[in-house]
Amino acid sequence: MTSLRFLIDMNLSSKTVTNLQQQGWDVLRVSQVLPMDAEDSEILEFARQHNRVIITQDLDFSSLLALGGYEKPSLITLRLFIPDPEIVTRKLLDSMPHIEDRLAEGCAVTIDDRKVLVRRLPIL
């Protein structure tokens, strides 16, 4: 379990939210706090204001972080071949011990089927 707080984008299953909450994570789904049609920039701003790490499959967040020169919020982008909620949960649980400290400092993490890539924020 981690002490970080997370905001899960709408492109991930509500089952992932439930799975992570059952593991003790502080997780909100975007639809719980913003309109269903919220723009990525609104989601990013909410996460910044509420100190939440964004978890998404959407590549636009990396671009928004880079263009804005932001140091926060941290971001986890999932690039999994099969984004099944059980697989997503397992990948996040397996990766967290290795990235938790970096997420607290401000970073963009990409998790794919074979590796985890961590880039410090701001993205230059």
Q: How confident is the model at residue 1 (pLDDT cuts 50, 70, 90)?
A: low
Averaged pLDDT for residues 11-17: 95
Residues 110-119 pLDDT 10s:
999 999 999 9
Phi then psi dihedrals of residue 84, to 5 deg = -60, 140
In the predicted model, is pLDDT for residue 2 greater than 80?
no
Q: Which domain holds residue 39?
A: 5-120
Averaged pLDDT for residues 89-111: 96
Element (H, E) at 77: strand 75-79
Residues 38-64 pLDDT 10s:
999 999 999 999 999 999 999 999 999
pTM above 0.75, yes or no: yes
Q: What's the number of domains the chain is made of?
A: 1
Element (H, E) at 14: helix 14-22
CATH number of the domain enclosing 18: 3.40.50
Q: How confident is the model at residue 29 (pLDDT cuts 50, 70, 90)?
A: very high
Q: How confident is the model at residue 7 (pLDDT cuts 50, 70, 90)?
A: very high
How many other C-beta atoms are found inside a 10 Å radius of the C-beta of residue 52? 22
pLDDT value of residue 124: 77
